[in-house]
Each structure stands twice: as C-alpha cells, then as structure tokens.
Structure 1
Amino acid sequence: MRSVSWVAHFGHETDMHPVDLIRDNSMLVRQKFKFNGVPDNPLFFQGSQNKSVGQRQNQMKDDNGWEIVSTYSTKQAVDDGFLVKVDSVASNEVGIKFPVYLTRAAWDKYVEVPKGMEQLQSLSGRLWDVLYMFAFQARKVSSNFLQYDFISYLPDEGNWESNETLESPENRLNRLVTLKAVIQAQDFDDPSPAIFIMKPNED
C-alpha cells in the first residue's frame, strides 16, 4: 500500500513514511495510525479534556466490544475554539494539499496581529510565514512529525516562551520560533490525512 509523507503534500510520491493510511472505518483512528516511538494514543489538544468547555460524551464500542466512554473530535475542538482550521486557499498558496489546523495557542500568538502592530503586520502575512516555513522544511523529510523554525515579529513585552529565541541582538522584535507539526487522521471518524501545527509543549 502506498504511504504518505510530507513530500506527498507537494505532489511527489514516496513509500518511506511510517504512517499507513488504512481506509477501514471499522477501526479507531488511533489503531490505524502508528507513529514511530510514540505511544498509540489519540491526539488531544490544549484544554480539550475540560468537560466544562464542551466535551461531549459518546457511548460506542470498538471492534473488541470495549466501551468508549469519551471521544473529542477535531470538529468539536474547532467548535470549542481549541483548534483553528486554516482556509484552504491560504494553505494551497504554499503548496499544502491537506487540511491544516493550528492550536489556539499557536494561532493567537503567531498569527493574530499583536496590538499596536496593525500598521506593520497583517493576519494573512503572519499566517503565510507560519505555513511557508512549514512547507519549506516539510519538503526535506519523510516523517509524520516535524519541528521547524520561523521568524515572528512580536512586541518585546517580557512574554518570551521556551520555544522562542532572539533572532538578532540588534532587533528584539524578531523572535526565532520553533513550532511542531504532525500529520495524522483528520478526525476519529475520518481517516483522511490532516496537518496539525502547535507549540512544541502541546500534544
């Protein structure tokens, strides 16, 4: 069976990717997608296990008859505001063929225009920076996991995080930012591939 890699997003085929896209709806997504060196668990997003913000309880059974007491879908995460789905026009412009989602934390800090910088920055331009540098680095690898760097223009307000370093001592407004991207099933009931971009400390 032909497998998928970052390179495949840009129209090139490869058989080296560890993710096997088994299109069998009778299996859970976490059973379909095997990640090298990563426990076989579903992906949860920041805050997604907080029932007070809209976690749904779904009663269903898997193939072995075990009851699944709770599921939290990508769609629900978008509805609850924990994920932001990127407009396909923006992702297609940089050559990405699969749907792209950003965690709310990554979107708010690196895509939304910081207060006071509205005359210098635009949301579309900042999103382009995030997506373009992802696409540039993704062409070089064949894994379902990628960490990549890009430069983000942010006010120097003391809110530096562990994934940010000073790009140049001459300009403290430019931060070299590291983000993490994974490719996996778009949803628990949709095995088609999607790209999820987040801060390195998010799951």
Structure 2
Amino acid sequence: MKRITQILIALALASSVALAEKKLPVGLMLNLDFQNVQDGLIPNKSLYPLHVPKGELGMEWANHRYMLAIQSGQGLSIPHSSLLDPDGSEWVVTVRAFVLTDGLVLSQGNDEHGYAIYIKDHTVQATVRTSHIAMTLQEGTYLGINKYRNQWVTIELRIKKDKAYLLLNRKMVAKLDLDAPLKGENMHIRIGNHQALPTVLKNKPGSTTTGFTGAISSLKVIRQ
C-alpha cells in the first residue's frame, strides 16, 4: 500500500509539472467580429470561442462596415479566459479607432501588471507595467507629435520579452526597454469607460477612469 501511495504521489507531481510547463497556444487570441453581431453578442473570430455582450454600446454603419460606437460613460468588458492571459511571450494588441475625445481606449491587467492605451491631449499614449515600474510610450517631439481628433488611427502595442513598441498607422513612434516580460493571471480586458482605474495608471498624474468617445472597427490580440 505504501508503494502504491508513493507511485500515486509521483504521478501527481509529474502531472503538475507537465501542466505548469504546458505552453498556451500562439496566434490570434482575440478578434472581435463587428460585422456579425447577433442578439447583442459580438463573436470572436479566433482560437477562443467567445461571444461578448455589447451591452449599452451601439453599432454604427460607415464606410461599408459596422463598428462599435462608444459614447460618454460607456465601456465594455471582455469575458475572461486563461487564453487571454499574457504568459511572457510576445503580446501584440491592435485596435483601429475613430477618436472624438480623450480617454481610455482599452486596458488589460490585474492588481500587479498590465498595460493601458489611451488618448491624452489628442495624442495616443500607452503605459506598460511588467515589474514594479510603469513606463509610458508616446511620440517624441523629434518625430513630430500627431494629434488625433475626428479621425481614424490604427494603434499597435507590441510587448516583447524585454522591449515594448508603439506603432501608429503602422509606423513605429516609440519604444522602451522592459525589466521583465508581460505575464500574469486574471488579466482582464476593458474597453472605453472603466469602473476602476487600471493598476498600471495608479501612479500616473492626471489619470482617470474616463473612456474615450468615438468608435472601434477592429480589435485584435495576438500571442506569438
């Protein structure tokens, strides 16, 4: 009996190690399909079968396609799955937004780490926290600072193991070195108005829970 118990314990430990070492799938984790919203649910065209309730947010038709309209005070939470948790691999977030006013575009994080993309003074900025320090990416004056108001912009935040990059309309405008890769559990994604200030912004002066107003025509999250 003692021998059997030892074998069972060994098997349990081996299974735990294998599970811990099991890598999450790579590829497109989130790809909201605004063209096929039904019964108030936004489908996800990716590895993760998901339907996101759009709640009070409306859908608008422009330029031959539907987009998610975001008005003052409105926001949307993505139902969570461990597949949407960064695990230290390269994490790429791309959102195409029509910007009307300043505010949070989206954030993902927990009580320790994460990132936030937002509009401040009509400029696109992103703050990332992978260790004990939060760092901000924004256009430098040497490149010329673009102002986004009443216009479209494609925002890409690319977080590698030791660096982060901000691209606007496919042009890299800022980069920084990271002390650690982005990883964690229960890292929830929120669009627009927030119910609480994202952890990554808690020590950043002037930060609020207010979401931007405008529209989003595309939102993708990729692990690679």
Class of the TM-score when normalised by the shorter of the 2 chains: under 0.3
Q: Which structure is higher in RCO with an 8 Å CA cutoff and minimum separation 6? A: 2
Relative to the length of structure 1, the TM-score reads: 0.27
Who wins on radius of gyration, i.e. which is larger? 2
TM-score (norm 2): 0.25
